[in-house]
Amino acid sequence: MPNQIADPQGDPAAWAQALKAQALKEGFALAGLAAIPGSGQLQMRSAALDRWLQAGHQADMAWMNDPRRRAVESLLPGVRSLLAVGLNYYVGQNQAAGAPRIARYGWGRDYHRLIDQRLRRLGRWLEQQVPGCRWRACVDTAPLLDKAWAEEAGLGWIAKNSNLISRSHGSWLLLGHLLTDLALPPDKPATPLCGSCSRCLEACPTGALPEPFVLDSRRCIAFHTIENREPSLPIALHGWVAGCDICQEVCPWNQHQAQPNPDPELQARPWILEASSETLLGWGEQQWDQALRASALRRIKPWMWRRNLRAAKQASPKNGPQENT
């Protein structure tokens, strides 16, 4: 039989609450539990991934087709439960007017490191409570349906712009997961609450959201500024040079539920808030190396920054969204 946490009164539900409470102590805004293999809603999300891949919406992100993404058991044999956590990365700062636009997820310290470190501390805490239990920490670099499992664990629902939205924090959340072979009572999967709203679809300037719940990476500003390794870009950047937050900025849930996080690890680096395009274009390799240390934005190489900065300064097409060809 799988390991099962039990307090002196034999109440696994109390231990599930203790685990989630410990996650909040680690600085996560939200925590919820899901049971493996998940509900029918999780299976629906897996089928949606297959349709998305078949349509070619992943562009050249071949890692999205990793078969382990559909089989969480391959990441931790014997897994019985999954703890999903959300790190609120919204901060009470804004970029200066005219600064090259950079998505908020990259303003502070590399979230991969932050979430991984905190999940590992949580895993070690869990192992102290139940010696011999097994666990694995996963950030978005792991082949896991991270948003689908977060939805399954009740953190929020997958919205029409493909982001996860929480009732309490909107979509300014970075996700992590702790897999364990312990059997813990799950939380109720979240219910979608986008309703008839379509602001995100209407606001996307490149047509990257052709229909609700479908993101076409081939038209996405975030994809092209971060992943595209070609010398020129097939879409207009509309002022963005690293990622894009347009579909989040127009979301009513973010306009009303965003909560600034004072965590010093998440606060924006001064150059992101203040530097001009001219200043950044003048940076050499050493300046970029220093500016991007311990940053998720390091994935964007200096030559790509220069490419993006030049492209972002170009006028956007006047005849509507520019399609990928």
DSSP 323: P
Cα separation of 206 and 216, whole Å? 10
Give the active site residue among 140, 146, 181, 216.
140
Q: Would you give the distance in Å from CA 26 to the centre of its chain? A: 18
Residue 27 tokens read as 């600085």
Question: Cβ distance 7 to 14 under 8 Å?
Answer: yes
| HSE, side-chain direction, 13 A CA sphere, residue 243 | 15
Amino acid identity, position 19 = L
- Catalytic residue list contains 110: no
The DSSP code sequence of 250-262 is T-HHHHHH-----
Residues 6+ apart with CB under 8 A from 2: 78, 80, 181, 182, 183
Catalytic residues: 140
